[in-house]
Amino acid sequence: MSMNNQGRPTGIGTSSFASSTGSALLPNEPLLFEIGDTEHSGVDLPDVTISGSRLGGFERRMPLDLAGLTEPEAMRHYVRLSRLNHSIDSGMYPLGSCTMKHNPRLNEKMARLPGFADIHPLQPASTVQGALELMEQLSHWLMTLTNTAAVALTPKAGAHGELLGMMAIKAAQEAAGQGHRRIVLVPESAHGTNPATAAFLGYTVKAIPARSDGTVDVQAVRDALSPEVAAIMLTNPNTCGLFEPDVIEIAEAVHEAGAFFYCDGANFNAIMGVVRPGDLGIDAMHINLHKTFSTPHGGGGPGAGPVVLSQALAPFAPVPFVRKGAKGLELVEHAQGEALGRITAFQGQMGMYVRALTYMLSHGGDGLAQAAQDAVLNANYIKARLAHAFSVPFGDCPTMHEALFDDSFLAGTGVTTLDFAKALIDEGFHPMTMYFPLVVHGAMLIEPTESESKQTLDHFCAVMEELAADAKAGNAERFTSAPLKAPRRRLDETRAARSPILKWERPEETLKAAE
Amino acid sequence: MRYLPHSDHERAEMLGVIGAADIDSLFSAVPKRALKSFDLGLPAHSPEFLVEAHMRALAGKNRAGADGPFFVGAGAYRHHVPATVDHLIQRSEWLTAYTPYQPEISQGTLQMLFEFQTQVAKLTGMDVANASLYDGSTGTAEAVLMARRLTKRNKIVLSGGLHPHYRDVVKAYLKDDTDLQCLSASPEGQGDILDHIDEQTAAIVIQTPDFYGHLRNLKTAADAAHAKGALLIVVITEIVSLGLIEAPGAYGADIVVAEGQSIGNALNFGGPYLGLMATRKEFIRQMPGRLCGETVDAEGQRGFVLTLSTREQHIRREKATSNICTNSGLCALAFSIHMALLGEAGFTRLARLNHARACKLADALAAVGGVDVLNKSFFNEMTIRTSQPAAALVERLAARGILAGVPVSRLEPDDPSVANLIVLAATELTTDADIAALCAALAEELA
């Protein structure tokens, strides 16, 4: 073990994981801190000495203790780790509500053009006219596809878009002397972000029960409306994968009561180019560019959640936005009047704007509509193929882009929805969304997206049928012990939450802490 | 259309299995007047080479950082990103995976997040870090709300050295909140925040190096806040500074929020970026955002899972700590890979190099007539006062091919006292020739 100039040991890796184990193509990769140390580095930088530093006496004394790897070691560490992940590129990823569609690589290539990637958000507008033009073009596509009056591009993710949309509604109502409206209506089937967003802004959340067919009853909405209601947050198509048939009547009732209609656009992929939400009476809707417009999910973000706004809400859009000025396009960066200000530094997720526009131009208006229709076709195909073996909560009506099953077909088998999902892992598929929406018992929500071929769907359905038959045949063990073929068996989440270990510590530090 | 696998023959066959006459019958729940009742007027699908040409034309109208001398900072910094980073993050298994909700087949992402959390905790000198937030500005707003939950107090004081965009985001999040006190701009680095702490104060928010580049004294701030039972929130927009500057944890910071873009991530005109958040162990249950934790699987093998999700919206709904549903996963991966490539040795060298370039820039600027450098202390960024209004001056320099920094008036248009101020940054990419070109142009413009 060597010592660095602070007299500390530099060898970080001391545990039993210091050499890789695992088998064949399934590596068991040690932690970065078990293979790297503070002396190794994968970058060559000149070691400059500074005479007369201007750090004001705040020089760092606390050890950094950051493990480094040379370039070949880093390459291997991250390639080996990557092989422990399922991905869209390696197999079907039918997570309902997540729209795991193909991510074209042209998008990635375009986002890396220096004219997009190597420009600073605070450069003079005269030096970024192409970037502002791109934001304008993206806005045009989003407003055209939704038939709305304005769009706020800056939200960083869907939930951030929801927050912005509800802030705009709040600002509009305060400007109209309607600030006393404190209630937001949210159907039971909504995403958790909806009530969380409303509560974040100080609203009281009132749940609207679902009808037995999984949709929202316009009469239930009418009954809940009052002069205290600020808005309804409705997902359409909803989280059961169903188009809300009374959506126009709901919008009319909400507007008559002086409230706004916030639409959760997470499921826009089912209707883009086929139905324009503006024609349904929405006032605000976020669009997840990482779902509908194919920007990569990246293992959990970054997303992007632009919000389209009706004429009534357009004046309350946040800054910055692009407008035509005397010397070309300009960015409006400071709020005027009643507008709600700024919800993030800079211009939002430009990298995602580039990818989304590239995707839109590739598809064209015709291709986007075809994609939505194929997504709906695929979900209905799965539903039709599996209805006999699984249990369908809402009967025979066509579904949109998702097929929803409940767990009644598993009654008496000793197999739960979770077990079933884990068994699917052993068959090479990522599980569907489980236990959501909450209005269906043991929900299995399957969203194939338009990217899956008929051959893949047929294979998926055959596997699902075989699993269902095996569960009913009493082979519970196959399910309760699954997964057996994944890089890990089931993980102990209770233990992780009970005594959280959230960072790596040297084994000797852990021992000392335990004493 | 190249992304859609079905042939028309297959579509017809599938409709047959479904028992539907045509595709429109699957949309029967849609009110008739809303279904395909319009002509979008959008262009039709396009071959790859035409899309590429369109996008290249747009990109070509922008002046990229590499095109000439570049001194723009103020919350986003132009650093070199090793080729390895960008190669690795484009691997399918990283790029096209979802949030690791199925841990058995997401151990790559989960272990990386655990390593990332460890790196951020070490950098900031704090007990724990989360798996990242959207960016530094929204992270600051989240930290303010977290401090309110922790202290059950409401008053928040924002230092005059906080990035104006960050201040504006906090203002928007706390709309019309009279308990929010924003101190006026402090371009000279004057510290007036300590007088504003009282028994109602939940937290004070201090950025260091601050928006104008000055290093702030966190020790006195932490002591003053803690004496009144308030928390100290430290904001860092240039994470590279922590290679040379003392960790906020060493001074007693309670919550540290940072913009992580400088490591691993390109400028991207403002996003996607990467919010870092770290705090004390006892505060984790009030921390927003995802957390990855270590556990074991059914065979006793070490593994990682998302944990403490009872704080989050998908479990708690309206009682959640935040409505956040995502992190900035791929940006966190880029950060973590770049940081692993640097290691302690490389990161320290990178920070020294940045500071050395900034010292050179400050000395050169001080020698230009009509320019005053306001900073006594700085890391890689500084503020100058020029003898002419800054906004027009920066425009003229841009026309000469030099991106000279950010006129403060662009962010503070209502404050006439900052009209002649420019914030400039130097990084490892700033050359002697860049500095010479800037100073020569400034001298001519101000002559």
Domain stops at, among B304, B338, B372: B338
Over residues A184-198, the pLDDT tens digits come to 999 988 888 899 999
Segments forming the whole domain that contains residue B115: 83-338
Give residue A6's pLDDT.
Answer: 40
Residues B285 and B386 in one domain: no
Residues B401 and B301 in one domain: no
A482-509 burial: b if 16+ Cβ within 10 Å, else e: bbeebbbbbbbeebbbeebbbbbebeee
Give residue B321's pLDDT.
Answer: 73
Whether A454 and A385 have beta carbons less than 8 Å apart is answered as: no
> For chain A, what's the residue count?
515
The closest of B238, B231, B320, B321 to B280, measured between CA atoms, is: B231
- Best of B96, B292, B357 to substitute, by most chain A Cβ atoms within 10 angstroms, is B96
DSSP state of A378: H
**Residue corresponding to tokens 């297959």:** B10
Whether the CA torsion A126, A128, A132, A137 is positive or negative: it is: positive
Verify whether the Cβ–Cβ distance A243 to B29 is below 8 Å.
Answer: yes
Verify whether the Cβ–Cβ distance B341 to A103 is below 8 Å.
Answer: no
Verify whether the Cβ–Cβ distance B134 to A358 is below 8 Å.
Answer: no
Residues B254 and B368 in one domain: no
Over residues A345-383, the pLDDT tens digits come to 999 999 999 999 999 999 999 999 999 999 999 999 999
Q: Which residues of B touch A56 (CB under 8 A)?
A: 214-215, 376-377
Instruction: Tell whether the model's pLDDT for residue A17 goes beyond 90.
Output: no
Any chain A CB within 8 A of the CB of B398? yes
Nearest CA of chain A to the CA of B340: how many Å? 5
In-domain check, residue B9 = no
CATH of the domain at B292: 3.40.640.10
- Best of A71, A93, A102, A118 to substitute, by most chain B Cβ atoms within 10 angstroms, is A118
Q: Which of A500-514, B97-111, B235-249 has the lowest mean pLDDT?
A: A500-514
CATH of the domain at B348: 3.90.1150.10
- Best of B45, B105, B111, B149 to substitute, by most chain A Cβ atoms within 10 angstroms, is B105
Verify whether the Cβ–Cβ distance A41 to B346 is below 8 Å.
Answer: yes
Interface of B with A in 216-245 (CB under 8 A): 217, 242-245
Q: Which residue in B18, B269, B352 is closest to A380 by CB distance?
A: B18
In-domain check, residue B18 = no
Nearest CA of chain A to the CA of B243: how many Å? 7
Residue ranges of domains in chain A, CATH in brackets: 106-361 (3.40.640.10), 365-494 (3.90.1150.10)
Verify whether the Cβ–Cβ distance B82 to A71 is below 8 Å.
Answer: yes
Give residue A13's pLDDT.
Answer: 43
Tell me how far CA of residue A376 lies from CA of A126, A242, A269, A478, in angstroms: 44, 11, 9, 32
Give residue A18's pLDDT.
Answer: 40
Radius of gyration of chain B (CA): 25
Q: Which of B109-113, B185-189, B352-356 has the lowest mean pLDDT?
A: B185-189
Whether A324 and B246 have beta carbons less than 8 Å apart is answered as: no
- Best of A122, A166, A248 to substitute, by most chain B Cβ atoms within 10 angstroms, is A122
Could you tell me how many CB contacts below 8 A there are between chain A and chain B?
A: 706
Instruction: Tell whether the model's pLDDT for residue B268 goes beyond 80.
Output: yes
Q: Which residue in B93, B269, B328 is closest to A301 by CB distance?
A: B328
In-domain check, residue B356 = yes
Neighbours of A61 (CB within 10 A): 10
**Does residue B6 come out as left (phi exceeding 0), alpha (psi in the -120 to 50 range) or beta?**
beta
Residues B292 and B420 in one domain: no
Residues B237 and B101 in one domain: yes
Give residue B326's pLDDT.
Answer: 75
The closest of A113, A88, A351 to B134, measured between CA atoms, is: A351
In-domain check, residue B53 = no
Verify whether the Cβ–Cβ distance B100 to A299 is below 8 Å.
Answer: yes
Q: Which residues of A touch B328 (CB under 8 A)?
A: 301-302
Give the relative orientation of helices A158-175 and A193-200 as an angle to the nearest 10 degrees.
Answer: 40
Any chain B CB within 8 A of the CB of A87? yes
Residue A177, classified by CB atoms within 10 Å of its CB into exposed (0-12), middle (13-18) or buried (19+), is exposed
In-domain check, residue B51 = no
Nearest CA of chain A to the CA of B18: how many Å? 5
Residue B295, classified by CB atoms within 10 Å of its CB into exposed (0-12), middle (13-18) or buried (19+), is buried
Mean pLDDT computed over B435-441: 98
B12, two tokens: 């017809």
Verify whether the Cβ–Cβ distance B59 to A130 is below 8 Å.
Answer: yes
Q: Which residues of A touch B101 (CB under 8 A)?
A: 95
Nearest CA of chain A to the CA of B181: how many Å? 17
Say how far apart CA B126 and CA B253 lie, in whole Å. 8
State phi, psi for B182 to the nearest 5 degrees.
-110, 115
The closest of A444, A439, A395, A435 to A210, measured between CA atoms, is: A439
Residues B291 and B416 in one domain: no
Residues B149 and B168 in one domain: yes
In-domain check, residue B47 = no
Any chain A CB within 8 A of the CB of B381? no
Instruction: Tell whether the model's pLDDT for residue A510 goes beyond 60.
Output: yes
pLDDT level of residue A338 (50, 70, 90 thresholds): low
- ipTM passes above 0.95: yes
Q: Which residues of B touch A371 (CB under 8 A)?
A: 1, 3-4
Domain stops at, among B293, B309, B338: B338
Residues B288 and B353 in one domain: no
Q: Which residues of A touch B313 (CB under 8 A)?
A: 159, 192-193, 195-196
Q: Which residues of B touch A46 (CB under 8 A)?
A: 349, 353
- Counting other chains too, the contacts that B415-421 makes at CB distance below 8 Å and 24 or more residues apart are B415/B184, B415/B185, B417/B185, B417/B187, B418/B185, B418/B187, B419/B389, B419/B390, B419/B391, B420/B385, B420/B386, B420/B387, B420/B388, B420/B389, B420/B390, B421/B187, B421/B212, B421/B374, B421/B383, B421/B384, B421/B385, B421/B386, B421/B390
Q: Which residue of B has its CA nearest to A382?
A: B18
Any chain B CB within 8 A of the CB of A459? no
Verify whether the Cβ–Cβ distance A115 to B58 is below 8 Å.
Answer: yes
Q: Which residues of B touch A501 (CB under 8 A)?
A: 293-295
In-domain check, residue B45 = no
Residues B351 and B330 in one domain: no
Give residue B81's pLDDT.
Answer: 98
Say how far apart CA A446 and CA A461 lie, in whole Å. 11
Instruction: Tell whether the model's pLDDT for residue A52 goes beyond 90.
Output: no
Q: With pLDDT > 70 as the criterion, what percentage of chain B qualifies? A: 98
pLDDT level of residue A513 (50, 70, 90 thresholds): low
Give the relative orientation of helices A454-472 and A417-426 as an angle to the nearest 10 degrees.
Answer: 130
Give residue A28's pLDDT.
Answer: 86
Over residues B86-100, the pLDDT tens digits come to 999 999 999 999 999
Radius of gyration of chain A (CA): 26
Give residue A210's pLDDT.
Answer: 86
Any chain B CB within 8 A of the CB of A430? yes
Instruction: Tell whether the model's pLDDT for residue B328 goes beyond 50.
Output: yes
Q: Name B372's bridge partners.
A: B385
State phi, psi for A183 to the nearest 5 degrees.
-115, 135
Q: Which residues of B touch A88 (CB under 8 A)?
A: 92, 96-97
In-domain check, residue B93 = yes
pLDDT level of residue A11 (50, 70, 90 thresholds): very low
B65, two tokens: 């950082």
Interface of B with A in 88-117 (CB under 8 A): 88-109, 111-112, 114-115, 117
Verify whether the Cβ–Cβ distance B293 to A500 is below 8 Å.
Answer: yes
Residues B252 and B289 in one domain: yes
Interface of A with B in 299-358 (CB under 8 A): 299-304, 318, 333-334, 340-352, 354, 357-358
Residue B76, classified by CB atoms within 10 Å of its CB into exposed (0-12), middle (13-18) or buried (19+), is buried
Residues B153 and B69 in one domain: no
Any chain B CB within 8 A of the CB of A89? yes
Report how many domains make up chain B: 2
Domain stops at, among B322, B338, B354: B338
Residues B354 and B334 in one domain: no
Verify whether the Cβ–Cβ distance A497 to B284 is below 8 Å.
Answer: no
